[in-house]
Amino acid sequence: MIMKAIRVALFLVILTVITGVAYPFAVTGVAQLAFPYKANGSLVHAGETVLGSELIAQNFTGAGYFHPRPSGAGAGYEANNSGASNLGVTSKSLNESIQARATAQRELNGGIQVPVDLVTASGSGLDPDITPQAALYQAQRVATARNMAIGDVEALVNKMTKGPTLGLLGMPRVNVLAINRELDRIQAE
């Protein structure tokens, strides 16, 4: 009886070491060797300074920058507070929030039809991408603030638009951090 308990305990310890230590270290090692950029969070650097991650939205508010989707994560763009509001389409609070955001977008960018992704948060509240339509909607404001031709900003949006993953997964998208970095690079030239 005692031998059986010792074997079960030993088996449990061995299984724990394999699944809780060896396997995670092996997967981490393979990821570091095969995909170091992605394995380390897709961090974007300017020299030694980390500017952010391609995977997590940041709050760009200046007139000369493209703005991301609204954040539903904590006080705003906090990765440790990621999550949806769980408000449904019949929620008065959600509808009021969307109307307020749409009004603010119209005041900031003009136009009547505001792209839906500029007034609604994503499921995580941290989506780093916007639709090409949302980027083009903001193009005039960005061009004016940066003293650029609207055609140049629209061409940049088209250049920075990524298609669906593998040609069929997801929708075309523009990474807000990437396009804003490209704008800064162009202005620095």
pLDDT band at 182 (very low <50, low <70, confident <90, very high): very high
Burial class (CB in 10 A: 0-12, 13-18, 19+), 57: buried
27/49 same-domain check: no
pTM of the full predicted structure?
0.80
Question: If pLDDT is split at 50, 70 and 90, which confidence band does 143 have?
Answer: very high
Counting beta carbons within 10 angstroms of the beta carbon of residue 164, is it exposed (0 to 12), middle (13 to 18) or buried (19 or more)?
exposed
| Cβ 148 vs Cβ 137: under 8 Å | no
- Would you put residue 44 in left (φ > 0), alpha (ψ -120 to 50) or beta? beta
The residue among 104 and 111 whose pLDDT is bigger is 104
Asked if 139 and 77 sit in the same domain, the reply is: yes
Do 50 and 13 fall within a single domain?
A: no
Co-location of 1 and 66 in the same domain: no
Q: Is the pLDDT of residue 72 over 80?
A: no
62 and 126 assigned to the same domain: yes
Q: CA-CA-CA-CA torsion for 63, 147, 128, 125, nearest 10 degrees?
A: 10
Q: How far apart are CA 19 and CA 31, in angstroms?
A: 17
DSSP 42-92: -EEEETTEEEEETTS-----STTS---PPP-STTTT-GGG-------TT-H
Tokens representing 137 are: 């909607």
Q: Indicate whether 54 and 20 sit together in one domain.
A: no
Q: Are 78 and 3 found together in one domain?
A: no
Residue 118 and residue 50 share a domain: yes
Is residue 18 domain-shared with residue 73, that is, in the same domain? Answer: no
Q: Is the pLDDT of residue 73 over 80?
A: no
Residues 63 and 13 in one domain: no
CB 138 within 8 A of CB 183: no
Query: Quick one: pLDDT at residue 125?
Result: 80
Please give the residue range of the domain that contains residue 8: 1-40
Residues 27 and 64: their CA atoms lie apart, in Å, by 42
> Are 11 and 94 in a shared domain?
no
Residues 27 and 53 in one domain: no
pLDDT at 148: 95
Q: Which tens digits make up the pLDDT trace of 3-41?
A: 888 999 999 999 999 999 999 999 999 999 999 888 888
- Structural domains counted in the chain: 2
First to last CA, the chain: 78
Q: For the stretch 4-28, what's the b/e string if a residue is b when 16 or more beta carbons lie within 10 angstroms of its beta carbon?
A: eeeeeeeeeeeeeeeeeeeeeeeee
